[in-house]
Amino acid sequence: MHNFEYYNQTKLIFGKGTEQKVGEEMAHYAKRVLLHHSGGYPVKSGLIDTIKQSLEKAGVAWVEFVGVQPNPRLSLVYDGIEYAKKEKVEALLAIGGGSAIDSAKAIALGAVDNGDVWDFYAGTRVPHKALPVATVLTIPAAGSESSISSVLTNEKGPWKNGLNHASIRPVFSILNPELSYTLPPYQTACGIADMLAHIMERYFTPEKDHELTDQLCEGTMRTIIRNARTVFNGGEKDYHARAEIMLSGTIAHNNMLDMGRIGDWASHGIEHELSALYDIAHGAGLAIVFPAWITYNIKKEVADGVQPLRFARFAAKIWGVDGAYYDFIQAAFEGVFRMRNFFKSIGLPVSFADAQLPTDQIEKMAFQAVRRGPLGNYTKLDKTAVESILKDCTV
Amino acid sequence: MHNFEYYNQTKLIFGKGTEQKVGEEMAHYAKRVLLHHSGGYPVKSGLIDTIKQSLEKAGVAWVEFVGVQPNPRLSLVYDGIEYAKKEKVEALLAIGGGSAIDSAKAIALGAVDNGDVWDFYAGTRVPHKALPVATVLTIPAAGSESSISSVLTNEKGPWKNGLNHASIRPVFSILNPELSYTLPPYQTACGIADMLAHIMERYFTPEKDHELTDQLCEGTMRTIIRNARTVFNGGEKDYHARAEIMLSGTIAHNNMLDMGRIGDWASHGIEHELSALYDIAHGAGLAIVFPAWITYNIKKEVADGVQPLRFARFAAKIWGVDGAYYDFIQAAFEGVFRMRNFFKSIGLPVSFADAQLPTDQIEKMAFQAVRRGPLGNYTKLDKTAVESILKDCTV
DSSP string, B30-98: -SEEEEEE-SSHHHHTSHHHHHHHHHHHTT-EEEEEE---SS-BHHHHHHHHHHHHHTT-SEEEEEESH
pLDDT recorded at residue A334: 95
Contact: B5, A11; criterion CB under 8 Å: yes
For A292-304, how does the pLDDT look when each residue is reduced to its tens digit (9 = 90+)?
999 999 999 999 9
pLDDT recorded at residue A208: 85
How close A146 gets to chain B, by Cα (Å)?
A: 11
Report phi then psi at B135, rounded to 5: -140, 150
As a whole number, mean pLDDT of residues B289-315 equals: 97
Q: Does A334 touch chain B (CB under 8 A)?
A: no
Please choose, from the candidates A267, A206, A263, the residue with its C-alpha nearest in 3D space to the C-alpha of residue A392: A267
> Which of the four pLDDT bands, split at 50, 70 and 90, describes residue B158?
confident
Q: Nearest Cβ partner of A212 from B5, B214, B223?
A: B223
pLDDT recorded at residue B324: 65
For A39-66, how does the pLDDT look when each residue is reduced to its tens digit (9 = 90+)?
999 999 999 999 999 999 999 999 999 9
Q: Give dist(CA A173, CA B7) in Å, integer.
A: 10
Q: Within 13 A of B127's CA, how many CA atoms are on the CB side?
A: 30
Q: What is the ipTM for the molecules in this complex?
A: 0.94
> Which of the four pLDDT bands, split at 50, 70 and 90, describes residue A158?
confident
How close A309 gets to chain B, by Cα (Å)?
A: 19
Distances (CA, A) of B129 to B109, B110, B165, B168: 7, 9, 9, 8
Is the pLDDT score of A29 beyond 90?
A: yes
As a whole number, mean pLDDT of residues B154-183 equals: 95
For B354-374, how does the pLDDT look when each residue is reduced to its tens digit (9 = 90+)?
999 999 999 999 999 999 899
Q: Nearest Cβ partner of A1 from B211, B243, B251?
A: B243
> Which of the four pLDDT bands, split at 50, 70 and 90, describes residue B252?
very high
Q: Give dist(CA A50, CA A46) in Å, integer.
A: 7
pLDDT recorded at residue B325: 65
Contact B297, B311 (CB under 8 A): yes
pLDDT recorded at residue A324: 65
Q: Does B5 touch chain A (CB under 8 A)?
A: yes
Q: Nearest Cβ partner of A14 from B4, B12, B17?
A: B4
Q: Does B395 touch chain A (CB under 8 A)?
A: no
Contact: A9, B4; criterion CB under 8 Å: no
> Which of the four pLDDT bands, split at 50, 70 and 90, describes residue A325?
low
For B319-359, how does the pLDDT look when each residue is reduced to its tens digit (9 = 90+)?
999 876 668 999 999 999 999 999 999 999 999 999 999 99
Chosen for mutation from A137, A192, A212, A317 (greatest number of chain B CBs closer than 10 Å) is A212
* CA closest to A242 among chain B residues: B1
Q: What is the mean pLDDT of chain A?
A: 96
Distances (CA, A) of B117 to B99, B277, B282, B287: 17, 22, 22, 30
For A338-395, how does the pLDDT look when each residue is reduced to its tens digit (9 = 90+)?
999 999 999 999 999 999 999 999 999 999 999 989 999 999 999 999 999 999 999 8
As a whole number, mean pLDDT of residues A200-219 equals: 95
Please choose, from the candidates A192, A191, A137, A195, the residue with its C-alpha nearest in 3D space to the C-alpha of residue A18: A137
Q: Give dist(CA A266, CA A272) in Å, integer.
A: 10
For a pLDDT cut of 70, what percent of chain A falls above it?
99
Q: What is the mean pLDDT of chain B?
A: 96
Contact: B6, A11; criterion CB under 8 Å: yes
Q: Does B322 touch chain A (CB under 8 A)?
A: no
Note which residues in 246-265 of chain A have CB less than 8 A from chain B: 247-248, 251, 256, 259-260
> Which of the four pLDDT bands, split at 50, 70 and 90, describes residue B125?
very high
Q: Does A211 touch chain B (CB under 8 A)?
A: yes
Is the pLDDT score of A157 beyond 90?
A: no
For A254-293, how does the pLDDT look when each residue is reduced to its tens digit (9 = 90+)?
999 999 999 999 999 999 999 989 989 999 999 999 999 9
Name all domains of chain A by residue range, CATH numbers in brackets.
11-180 (3.40.50.1970), 185-392 (1.20.1090.10)
